[in-house]
């Protein structure tokens, strides 16, 4: 939708991968709609995933006992977080929609994306107490996970060996995104591209491109336990 700002947080090493194609098609489709699109290509940026004292550029409030959460919160308020974190927070602040594009690693995000979440979504910026879930500081923004899996769709069903795909989405969509106030759109899951034919992979990219045409009209999911685990 014209005038909207989109941030794509992208975590894959290979530009020619399916993840790369899904990211590219999102940039193309959303730009064509008149959105301004920014990509944080975490591997290409050599993004630091570790949450350490280097993230605080000022003096520590308690040099004798390092507590990352406390120090990052205070540094955010004093504007003394490291420049790479501030940069990502600016992009997030301006975005109407954030797309996370990644391959599923161990039912979760790759380390570089986990580190982005750990470092960028700090207290004071993304949430506070009070100020979480529906009152999280990123409320009014949309988020969507677009991910690829190693297993096939049937492996990620209730009766499948991995259990329902919604189970692994709980910590990401609810415990991270909804916690920070995002309204979460239904995930885009491209199941088992490694086992799929070239034709099927093309269809995965095409269906994402198609969905993006009307993404702004979608209603967010009811991000609460029943959506994930049933009644």
Select from 212, 6, 189, 165 the least CA-distant residue to 94: 6
What's the per-residue H, E or C state across 169-180?
A: HHHHHHHHHHCC
pLDDT tens-digit series, residues 190-208: 999 999 999 999 999 999 9
Task: Give all domains of the chain, ordered by start, each with its CATH number.
Answer: 5-229 (3.40.50.360)
pTM: 0.98
pLDDT tens-digit series, residues 31-58: 999 999 999 999 999 999 999 999 999 9
| Cβ–Cβ under 8 Å, residues 192 and 150 | yes
């Amino acid at each position: 939708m014209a005038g909207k700002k989109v941030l794509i947080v992208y975590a894959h090493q290979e530009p020619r991968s399916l993840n790369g194609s899904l990211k590219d098609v999102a940039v193309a489709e959303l730009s064509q709609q008149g959105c301004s699109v920014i990509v944080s290509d975490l591997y290409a940026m050599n993004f630091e995933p570790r949450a350490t004292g280097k993230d605080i550029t000022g003096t520590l409030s308690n040099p004798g006992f390092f507590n990352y959460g406390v120090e990052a919160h205070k540094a955010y308020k004093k504007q003394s977080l490291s420049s790479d974190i501030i940069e990502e927070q600016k992009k997030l602040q301006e975005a109407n929609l954030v797309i996370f594009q990644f391959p599923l690693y161990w039912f979760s995000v790759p380390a570089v994306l986990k580190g982005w979440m750990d470092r960028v979504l700090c207290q004071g910026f993304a949430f506070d107490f009070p100020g979480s879930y529906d009152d999280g500081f990123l409320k009014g923004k949309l988020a969507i996970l677009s991910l690829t899996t190693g297993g096939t769709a049937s492996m990620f069903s209730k009766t499948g060996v991995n259990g329902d795909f919604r189970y692994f989405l709980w910590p990401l969509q609810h415990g991270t995104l909804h916690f920070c106030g995002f309204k979460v759109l239904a995930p885009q899951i491209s199941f088992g591209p490694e086992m799929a034919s070239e034709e099927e992979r093309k269809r995965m990219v095409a269906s994402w491109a198609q969905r993006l045409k009307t993404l702004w009209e979608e209603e967010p999911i009811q991000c609460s336990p029943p959506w994930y685990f049933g009644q």
